[in-house]
């Protein structure tokens, strides 16, 4: 007779959950509010032309971005960002899996990958402009090229790090290559892949702004540069605030997806901490 033992986790008491949730919300909301209060007091006591107070920036935010500019500049930028992120993640995971599984291909491409990774992506923007012109495709390719590397290299390392004992066990059970790939290799590499995706989101947002600052007549990055060149300081800061809000939105979406994808991984960590 084979005995199976399992670890039974009991849920914490309800008051403890509410206390923990209250602390998390307090830390998440309290610090920004405190910074805004300090910022407002500082802006009132020592007003500066290039550092307006939060109320002035909030007013400029509503006047600038709640209107036609949101449709003509912000939405196209977000659309290009979303397409580029999907492409970067898909290409990075697919290519990284192939390179990680194929030893000779990995040894062949490793110097080339290290070379291109070391090149700052903004330096190549003039090259892409010369080849593709100032088009949406050029901007998307710039974002993809700049944000591809974290997920690609993390996927390679995650696939390479698959436990050899588990791999041999899967072969002994006569699992097909596709079954080993989707049931063993990718799940085992998923923590590294998600770490790469987190970095990819940050780099993609940066590359979106850079691709629109110099060779563009529209977009969020173009508008921020336009405001700066015309000394519309509050409007410029409102664009920076909007970028920060987009970054927060990406972080929230990533956290939700990560917790669903890595539910098993976080469960193991919780058991180990218990």
Identify the pLDDT of residue 27.
62
Please say whether the beta carbons of 76 and 219 come within 8 A: yes
Q: Of 104 and 49, which is predicted with more confidence?
A: 104
Tell me, yes or no, whether 22 lies in a domain: no
Tell me, yes or no, whether 6 lies in a domain: no
Q: Look up residue 89 and give its DSSP letter.
A: H
| Model confidence at 203: pLDDT above 90 | yes
| Model confidence at 10: pLDDT above 50 | no
Give the number of domains in the chain: 1
Work out the average pLDDT over 42-68. Answer: 79
Burial of residue 206, with CB atoms counted within 10 A of its CB: 0-12 exposed, 13-18 middle, 19 or more buried: middle
For every residue of 204-270, DSSP letters joined together read HHHHHHHHHHSS-SSSHHHHHHHHHHTT-HHHHHHHHHHHHHHHHHHHHHHHHHHHHHTHHHHHHHH
| Model confidence at 59: pLDDT above 70 | yes
Sign of CA dihedral 203, 209, 215, 216: positive
Which residues touch 48 (CB under 8 Å, ≥6 apart)? Answer: none
Identify the pLDDT of residue 217.
80
- Determine the Cα–Cα distance for residues 58 and 244; give it in Å rounded to an integer: 14
pLDDT band at 136 (very low <50, low <70, confident <90, very high): confident
Please say whether the beta carbons of 132 and 187 come within 8 A: no
* Residue percentage of the chain with pLDDT more than 70: 81
Which domain does 92 fall in, by range?
54-273
Which residues touch 75 (CB under 8 Å, ≥6 apart)? Answer: none
Identify the pLDDT of residue 6.
40
Bridge partners, 242 (sequence order): none
pTM: 0.82
Tell me, yes or no, whether 225 lies in a domain: yes
CATH number of the domain that residue 204 is part of: 1.10.3720.10
Tokens at residue 59, please? 């007013």
Please say whether the beta carbons of 6 and 271 come within 8 A: no
Tell me, yes or no, whether 9 lies in a domain: no
Longest dimension (CA), the chain: 80
Tell me, yes or no, whether 39 lies in a domain: no
Identify the pLDDT of residue 185.
87
Question: Lowest-pLDDT range, 16-25, 127-136, 208-217?
Answer: 16-25
**List of E strands, 112-209:** none
Bridge partners, 48 (sequence order): 51
Tell me, yes or no, whether 263 lies in a domain: yes
Tell me, yes or no, whether 76 lies in a domain: yes
Closest CA to 204 of 159, 268, 150: 150
Q: How far, CA to CA in Å, does 115 sit from each of 111, 121, 145, 149?
A: 6, 12, 13, 11
pLDDT, tens only, 243-253: 999 999 999 99
| Average confidence score pLDDT of the chain | 82
- Determine the Cα–Cα distance for residues 147 and 141; give it in Å rounded to an integer: 10
Tell me, yes or no, whether 16 lies in a domain: no
């Amino acid at each position: 007779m084979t005995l199976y033992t399992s670890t039974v986790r009991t849920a914490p008491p309800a008051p403890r959950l509410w206390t923990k949730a209250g602390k998390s919300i307090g830390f998440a909301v309290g610090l920004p509010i405190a910074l805004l209060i300090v910022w407002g007091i500082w802006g009132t006591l020592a007003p500066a032309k290039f550092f307006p107070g939060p109320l002035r920036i909030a007013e400029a935010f509503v006047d600038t971005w709640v209107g036609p500019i949101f449709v003509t500049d912000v939405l196209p930028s977000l659309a290009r960002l979303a397409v580029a992120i999907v492409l970067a993640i898909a290409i990075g995971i697919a290519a990284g899996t192939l390179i990680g599984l194929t030893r000779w291909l990995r040894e062949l491409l490793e110097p080339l990958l290290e070379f291109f990774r070391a090149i700052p992506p903004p330096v190549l923007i003039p090259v892409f402009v010369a080849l593709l012109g100032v088009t949406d495709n050029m901007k998307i390719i710039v974002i993809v090229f700049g944000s591809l590397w974290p997920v690609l290299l993390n996927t390679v390392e995650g696939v390479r790090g698959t436990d050899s004992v588990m791999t041999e066990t899967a072969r002994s059970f006569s699992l097909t290559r596709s079954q080993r790939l989707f049931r063993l290799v990718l799940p085992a590499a998923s923590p590294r892949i998600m770490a790469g995706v987190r970095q990819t989101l940050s780099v993609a947002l940066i590359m979106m702004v850079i691709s629109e600052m110099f060779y563009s007549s529209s977009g969020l990055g173009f508008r921020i540069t336009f405001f700066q060149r015309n000394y519309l300081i509050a409007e410029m800061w409102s664009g920076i605030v909007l970028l920060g809000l987009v970054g927060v939105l990406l972080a929230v979406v990533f956290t939700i997806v990560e917790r669903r994808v890595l539910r098993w991984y976080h469960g193991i960590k919780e058991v180990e901490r218990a």
